[in-house]
Chain A
Amino acid sequence: MTDRRTNAESFEALAMPMFAPLYNFAHWLTQNREEAEDLVQETYLKALKGFVTFQQGSNFRAWMFRILRNTFLTSRSGLSAKMTVPLDLEEDLAALPVTPDTPESLLLTRANQKAVEAALERLPVAFREVILLCDMEEMSYQEIAETLGIPAGTVMSRLSRARKALRELIAAGSQGAAK
């Protein structure tokens, strides 16, 4: 009993500081407040239940985000999102040419936060999540790999492709606004 109590107390201490980031991430995934709340609530309940199986010393943040993401993937909006995301070309992405001197990269400096938000919204979920985990949560490639359940090499290539798509969307948005 004392162990279970200590267990729940340490879960609370570890999990509650992650509440706001998890909610933000959930809202980005679902694009809906109610769904995000449901998702976070389910995540916490699952995590509390499964906390005994959590390996002490392993990455708790990655564990929590993985539970949230897996819960999202099996939700209705998650299932529809997954179907619309093409992930099959990732392995070819290492060869993708990066062209930073193109006009869209210059436009970026003028892009405001609203434009980036809009671009993130339009980004496929699989790209959105990898960018948010890396840039917003400042997770290492290894943490992202643990969260998404993919190899670190795939994280790198997916991130590269996601950023390219994001740049294009920002550029398209800025051009659309200029017209």
Chain B
Amino acid sequence: MTCEWREKLDRYVDAELSGSELTEMEAHLRACPACAADALSRLQLKRMTEAAGRRYSPSPEFRRKIEKSVAAPERSRWLSWWLPTFAAAAAGALLLISVFLWTQHSRGEQTLGELADLHVATLASANPVDVVSTDRHTVKPWFQGKLPFSFNLPELQDSPFKLIGGRLAYLQQSPGAQLVFEVRKHRISVFIFQNRAELSGLNSGPSWLRKKLTFNGETWTEGGLRYFVVGDANPADVHALSELLKIAG
């Protein structure tokens, strides 16, 4: 017993019929018990195959392995992209830091040059100081209102140093105090400025300062202030004055 519809039954069961074909098939199945039984049988087989087919499950370990293998190459590609970028950024940063330090360094040299010039100008001037006094209690108040900071002057009794006086000095457009001392006919300038980034990096040894200043000198920071001691006095005297200032500061 054959029917022309039989060959379409698989397509019917597999939901591959549509439109008029499906409508006609449904009408035929209502009219033809043989085809209806066949369709039911095919549908049963399909359902049983479906159930039997879902037989194997992957292990959780294997799932993790695949998840990792799908994600891992991406991470490594991410790294392979980021590592050179990071290295380049680090190299760039290093270069910037070097340039910055070098700039700072050369700025420092410039600063020392300016200080040496100020000291020489003071020595050459007919009026080297604006406030002429050997009394620190006269000199210090003179700066009040002229500077955005205050400082202490050392007690010079029992020392070879003599205060000559003081004047306003400008270093890189910033005001500061220049104090002139005398020791054994040598004059020493003491400069006091507010410490700034451009002035840091100057904490080098006396020999380096001497080379750059063409004078003996010392420099340090204390209480947010930068001190420079510059003069043609011998290094020991420069050092001694520096120590007195540090004690006073």
Known A20-B58, A23-B56: A141·B14 in contact at CB below 8 Å: yes
The reply to whether the CB of B70 lies closer than 8 angstroms to some CB of chain A is yes
Q: Which residues of B contact A156 (CB under 8 A)?
A: 10-11
Known A40-B58, A136-B53, A159-B10: A100·B70 in contact at CB below 8 Å: no
The reply to whether the CB of A82 lies closer than 8 angstroms to some CB of chain B is no
Residue of A nearest to B77 (CB): A4
Pairwise interchain contact B38-A134, C-beta atoms closer than 8 A: no
In the complex, per-residue mask of A35-46: 1 if CB is within 8 Å of any chain B CB, else 0: 011001100110
Known A5-B74, A41-B66, A101-B1: A160·B53 in contact at CB below 8 Å: no
Q: Which residues of B contact A134 (CB under 8 A)?
A: 14, 46
How far is A101 from B14 in the complex, measured between Cα atoms in Å?
Answer: 20
Q: Could you say which of A58-66, A69-77, A83-91, A106-114 contacts chain B?
A: A106-114
B76 CB to nearest A CB, Å = 11
B232 CB to nearest A CB, Å = 64
Partner of A98, one of B11, B38, B58, B65: B38
Q: Which residues of A contact B45 (CB under 8 A)?
A: 108, 163, 166-167
The reply to whether the CB of B184 lies closer than 8 angstroms to some CB of chain A is no
Known A98-B6, A108-B44, A159-B10: A15·B50 in contact at CB below 8 Å: no
How far is A156 from B11 in the complex, measured between Cα atoms in Å?
Answer: 8
Interface range, A side: 35 or more
Residue of A nearest to B14 (CB): A134
How far is A95 from B55 in the complex, measured between Cα atoms in Å?
Answer: 33
The reply to whether the CB of B63 lies closer than 8 angstroms to some CB of chain A is yes
Known A140-B16, A166-B49: A160·B41 in contact at CB below 8 Å: no
Residue of B nearest to A111 (CB): B48
Pairwise interchain contact B42-A163, C-beta atoms closer than 8 A: yes
B47 CB to nearest A CB, Å = 8
In the complex, per-residue mask of B1-40: 1 if CB is within 8 Å of any chain A CB, else 0: 1100011011100101000000000000000001001100
A139 CB to nearest B CB, Å = 9
Interface range, B side: 35 or more
B121 CB to nearest A CB, Å = 61
A-side binding surface: helix, strand, loop or mixed?
A: helix
Pairwise interchain contact B44-A24, C-beta atoms closer than 8 A: no
The reply to whether the CB of A150 lies closer than 8 angstroms to some CB of chain B is no
Residue of B nearest to A109 (CB): B44
Q: Which residues of A contact B9 (CB under 8 A)?
A: 98
A53 CB to nearest B CB, Å = 16
Q: Which residues of A contact B10 (CB under 8 A)?
A: 156, 159-160, 163
A–B pairs, 29, beta carbons within 8 Å: A8-B71, A8-B74, A12-B70, A15-B70, A16-B70, A19-B58, A20-B57, A27-B56, A28-B53, A28-B56, A37-B62, A40-B62, A41-B66, A41-B69, A48-B69, A48-B70, A98-B38, A100-B34, A101-B37, A108-B41, A108-B48, A109-B44, A116-B48, A116-B49, A120-B49, A140-B16, A156-B11, A159-B10, A160-B10
Known pairs A20-B57, A141-B16 / 4 extra A-B pairs, C-beta < 8 Å: A28-B53, A134-B46, A135-B53, A136-B53
